Structure 1
Amino acid sequence: MAHDKIAKYESFVDTRLKPDLVSAMAARDKVMDRQRVFTDLAKNIRMLQENGLKKMRTMVNLGSEVYAQAEVPDTSSIFVDVGLGFHVEFKLDEALEFCGNKLTSLNKEVEEHTRQIASIKAQIKLVVEGIRELMNLPEERRNTRISSF
């Protein structure tokens, strides 16, 4: 009877909790990538403003790491991808404000994903401790962490 419970709990960890953990970590990584994009954009906008560049030459990624030279004749405004395939033209100050607001929102998303990850890890630890009790194994040291997940 205990073996059935142990198998059931192990199955729950393997089929539900571990995939949920992997999914939550991937979602957080995706949001963190978006954070980096907006951080870089804000940095580039500040560089344009600080250097007073009115026009510039740059390299543009056309896809598949194929680049082409481009000339920007007027750097007073910029198009920003605001999501869902929409690009909005902003003045540089407006774009910086948008980036700040977007980064605030993304930071909250990262925090939420981090809380979710911690919750899943705690659930895994709880189930593993339950399995250990059912098997009458000695308790692990308190400082051990679930690092393999």
Structure 2
Amino acid sequence: MTATTSPQGQSVDLSTLSTPQLSQVKKQLDDELTHLTTSYQNLRAAQNKFRDCLSNIQRTFPNGPQKLHVTNDTESKAQNLLIPLTPSLYVPATLSSVRSVLVDVGTGFFLEKSPEDATTFYNEKVDDLEKNLKDLEKAVQSKGRSVSMVEDVIRQKVLSGQGGEGSTQAAAA
């Protein structure tokens, strides 16, 4: 007997369900799997954006932000660089200060941080997202296994001729 866990955390014996009920369970699991997969892709995209921010800091401060010794003379020298507007469009810009950078902390808020603090912030974000991605990946795999189990039971019922009875009952209802 094949069992799966319901959304409420209860175990359900799939062989006791009719084909229409199994189809409904499969649809619900497919919807959940789609949502989890989309969330996984969104988290991966966010992680890549944070990695891009780290690489931008590394390009701007090639010797590392912690080795930057800022003097008034260094501060007065404008640094020319290219700022990415999209993955393929860059605009020339001048870094007005090497003492701080603006860090996007989410929902349209930016904080001024030192390059060292910005690097630490982005590294922590990348690490946190990696942990979340691993957890989400396990959930996606588990949900995928549940979908496969439901599909197997539906296939068995259809091949054994039980699928017709459930379909007739569903049509009468």
Instruction: Decide: shared fold, TM above 0.5.
Output: yes
The answer on whether the counterparts of 1:60 and 1:70 sit within 8 Å (CA) in structure 2 is no
The one-letter code of the counterpart of 1:108 is K
1:77 aligned to 100, 103, 111, which one?
A: 100
**CA positional deviation for 1:116:** 1.3
Q: Which has the larger radius of gyration?
A: 2
What secondary structure, in the 3-state scheme, does the structure 1 residue paired with 2:149 have?
Answer: helix
2:110 aligned to 84, 87, 91, which one?
A: 87
Aligned-partner Cα distance in 1 for 2:37–2:91: 35
Moved more, 101-110 or 66-75: 66-75
TM-score (norm 1): 0.75
**CA positional deviation for 1:66:** 7.9
TM-score (norm 2): 0.66
Aligned-partner Cα distance in 2 for 1:59–1:129: 52
**CA positional deviation for 1:7:** 1.8
1:49 aligns with 2:49: no
After superposition, the CA RMSD in angstroms is 2.6
Q: Which runs of 5+ in 2 are unaligned?
A: 1-14, 69-73, 161-173
Q: Percent identity?
A: 21
Moved more, 19-28 or 67-76: 67-76
**CA positional deviation for 1:68:** 4.9
2:30 aligned to 7, 13, 18, which one?
A: 18
**CA positional deviation for 1:127:** 0.8
1:7 aligned to 20, 28, 37, which one?
A: 20
1:28 aligned to 19, 25, 40, which one?
A: 40
Q: Which runs of 4+ in 1 moved over 3 A?
A: 51-54, 65-69
What secondary structure, in the 3-state scheme, does the structure 1 residue paired with 2:61 have?
Answer: helix
